[in-house]
Amino acid sequence: MTDPVIVASGQTYERESIRKWIDSNHRTCPKTREILAHLSLAPNYALKNLILQWCENNNFELPKKHFPASSNPGTTSEHQEKVSSLVKDLSSSQLEVQRKAVKKIRLLSKENPENRILIANNGGIPPIVQLLREPFRPIIGVLNSGTTEARENSAAALFSLSMLDENKVTVGLSDGIPPLVDLLQNGTDRSLGMVDEALSIFLLLASHPEGRNEIGRLSFIETLVELMKDGTPKNKECATSVLLELGSTNSSFMLAATSIWRLRKFS
């Protein structure tokens, strides 16, 4: 094991192995079989340090991972052109073109890390953030539903892209955090999966220093506390996970949450 990560059930797995499991549309813990509250992977630094220490003490070099060019879909020029075209479609003035593009990017970003790198390198994150930022358009019937679907797909695609550390920085630089906060506060029914998708993105971003500083604003802490009190059971679990990640390196987040919780309790 070279890159141990912790899943929502508390079990630890090799990152590459559990990613294949999740990318195969499994939503349960391989060992306990319980349904995972979220699909975020938290690095198990304690175990990783133990592994590295053992390797150093025993003069053992961890094997390096190699990805054969022939098996990597992201290396073909045809695939690169496809991704580049989809990224351009994200900024289309036609709603239906946008909707189809973000849905395809969502699926591609779930397939493998190479696709996530390729999408980010082609400038895919800023237009996805822009789709999240846009308010619901005043159109009727199915078009209005289409806008909802576009935002759901945007949140899901952003979640997959945020699994890479370098993309977490890009999301922050693209001003991607405010529209996600707005999505939690105003944008959707809490019984829908989009809230949990957004919270999962925050959990990934909170594992990076820049993301942690950006999302640790008092207004967002208030939203987390509100979800912990009045959200669905899954909302509560996801919101608690984000708060614990924020508080793991800065106790002020936990103190702020405790103060808000007490104020809400007696208000």
Claim to verify: residue 18 and residue 126 sit in the same structural domain: no
Residue 245: pLDDT above 50? yes
So what's the pLDDT on residue 30?
A: 92
Q: What is the CATH number of the domain that holds 7?
A: 3.30.40.10
So what's the pLDDT on residue 145?
A: 39
Output the six-digit token pair for 52.
């590295």
- Residue finishing a domain among 65, 90, 105: 65
Claim to verify: residue 12 and residue 140 sit in the same structural domain: no
Domains in the chain, number: 2
Give the mean pLDDT of the chain: 75
Determine the average pLDDT of the residues in 83-101.
Answer: 84
Claim to verify: residue 2 and residue 133 sit in the same structural domain: no
Claim to verify: residue 141 and residue 240 sit in the same structural domain: yes
135-175 pLDDT tens trace: 433 322 222 334 566 666 777 777 777 777 667 767 766 67
Q: Which domain holds residue 27?
A: 1-65
Output the six-digit token pair for 238.
């996801």
- Within its chain, how far is the Cα of 153 from the centroid? 12
Claim to verify: residue 163 and residue 230 sit in the same structural domain: yes
So what's the pLDDT on residue 267?
A: 56
**Which residues does residue 4 pair with via DSSP β-bridges, in sequence order?**
14
211 or 242, which is more confident?
242
Claim to verify: residue 52 and residue 85 sit in the same structural domain: no
Claim to verify: residue 33 and residue 147 sit in the same structural domain: no
How many residues make up the chain in this entry? 267
Dihedral angle sign, alpha carbons of residues 225, 227, 231, 234: negative
- CB-based contact 5:204 (threshold 8 Å): no
Alpha-carbon distance of 65 to 112, in angstroms, equals 15
pLDDT band at 128 (very low <50, low <70, confident <90, very high): confident
Claim to verify: residue 85 and residue 59 sit in the same structural domain: no
- Residue finishing a domain among 46, 65, 84: 65
pLDDT band at 193 (very low <50, low <70, confident <90, very high): low
So what's the pLDDT on residue 71?
A: 45
- CB-based contact 115:74 (threshold 8 Å): yes
53-88 pLDDT tens trace: 788 887 877 766 554 444 444 446 778 888 889 889
Residue 93: pLDDT above 70? yes
Does residue 70 lie within any of the structural domains? no
Burial track 169-187 (b if 16+ CB lie within 10 A, e otherwise): bbbbebebbbbbbebbeeb
Claim to verify: residue 9 and residue 126 sit in the same structural domain: no
Claim to verify: residue 148 and residue 228 sit in the same structural domain: yes
Q: Which of 161, 165, 163, 158 is nearest to 180 (CA)?
A: 158
